Amino acid sequence: MTIAVTGATGFIGRHVIAELRRRGVEPIIAARNADSARRQLAGDRIIECDIHSADPEAFDRLGQPSTLIHLAWGGLPNYASRSHFEAELPAHYRFLTELVRAGLNSCLVTGTCLEYGLQAGELDEACSCRPTTPYGFAKETLRRELEFFREDYPFALTWARLFYTYGDGQGASSLYSQLKAAALRGDSTFDMSGGEQLRDYLPVQEVARLLVDLALLRRNAGPVNVCAGQPVSVRRLAESWLREHGWPLELNFGHFPYPEHEPMAFWGARAKLDSLVVTR
C-alpha cells in the first residue's frame, strides 16, 4: 500500500507521519516547499506539490498512491476569513478530484466540528450540518461536493470530522500553547474566559493514531467524528494541564468573553468511530 500525505508539516501532520512510520509505513509527503519540508521531516519521499496550482501530473509524481491522507488547509486559525470558500474550497476540490480521475481510489480528508455550527449537546454524524463560520461552511461544502463527485467517480471517502486537539507543537494561539508559553516566561497569572464551556478534546498523538487507523481501512465511511466522546469544561482541562506539567500559574477566569462562533456546550458522539477502529 502506498500512502501520500498532504499537510504533513502541520501540527497534526507531523504526528501522522510519525504514526505511519511507527507502523512501518514510509509515506510520500506532498509539500508546497520540498526544501522546507525536508528540514522539518526526515525522509526521502518528499514531493513538491502545490494544491493551489493545477497539476494534472500530481498523481503520477506522488507515485500513484493507493491512499491519500489529506490534512492540508490554509487560512487558519482565522475561521472567519472568506478565503476559506473563495480560495481554499475550489483549490482543494480541484486537487482531490484530479487525483481521483487519475486513479486514486481511497482518500481520508479532515473536516471540522465547526461544520455542526451552533448546535449544542452531543453531536453525531446524523446531525444536520449548519455551519456559521466561513471555515465550517467551506469544509462542509467540500464534503458535499466530493459526495456528488463520487456518483460519477466512485472512490472510498472517509471524512474525519475533528473536534479539539492539543499537544506540543500546536499553534501559538491555542490555549495549550499559550498556557505553556506563559509558564515558561514565568508569568504568575493567565487571563482566560470563564472556562465553563464544555468541549471535546483529544491529545494529538491519539488523533494521529485514529486518523491512520481510519485511512488504513480504505473504506467509504463518510463522515466520522474523531473525538473523545466525553465533554470536559475548558476550566477543568486547563487546571489539569497545570497539575500535569507543574506550571505555577493562577488562572484569571472571566477576563475574556466566550467565543460567539461556538455553543457553550457541545461534544462528539463516537459510536461510529468505535465501530470502525479498535479502542485502546
Single-letter amino acid, residue 107: C
Is residue 72 one of the residues assigned to a domain?
Answer: yes
Please report, for the domain that includes residue 111, its CATH number: 3.40.50.720
| Under-50 pLDDT residues of the chain | none
Contact between residue 168 and residue 11 where contact means Cβ atoms under 8 Å apart: no
pLDDT, residue 55, reads 86
Single-letter amino acid, residue 35: D
The total domain count for the chain is 1
pLDDT, residue 279, reads 63
Select from 257, 247, 107 the least CA-distant residue to 176. Answer: 247
Which residues make Cβ contacts (< 8 Å) with residue 106, sequence separation at least 6?
Answer: 66, 67, 68, 155, 156, 215, 218
Instruction: Tell me the three cell numbers of residue 7.
Output: 499537510
Distance between CA atoms of residues 237 and 205, nearest Å: 17
Is residue 45 one of the residues assigned to a domain?
Answer: yes
Is residue 221 one of the residues assigned to a domain?
Answer: yes
- pTM value? 0.95
Orientation angle between helical segments 175-185 and 234-245, nearest 10 degrees: 40
Select from 150, 215, 158 the least CA-distant residue to 1. Answer: 215
Is residue 37 one of the residues assigned to a domain?
Answer: yes
Bridge partners of 232, per DSSP, are 199
Is residue 188 one of the residues assigned to a domain?
Answer: no
Is residue 130 one of the residues assigned to a domain?
Answer: yes
Is residue 40 one of the residues assigned to a domain?
Answer: yes
What 236-241 contacts at long range (C-beta under 8 Å, 24+ apart), as own/partner pairs, is 236/195, 237/199, 237/201, 238/175, 238/179, 238/192, 238/195, 241/176, 241/179
Containing domain of residue 206, as a range? 3-165+201-229+268-276
Q: Which residue has the cell 504514526?
A: 19
Contact between residue 100 and residue 140 where contact means Cβ atoms under 8 Å apart: no
Contact between residue 150 and residue 157 where contact means Cβ atoms under 8 Å apart: yes
Which whole-number Å values give the CA distances from 163 to 35, 83, 151, 152, 169, in the listed order? 31, 22, 28, 31, 17
Is residue 192 one of the residues assigned to a domain?
Answer: no
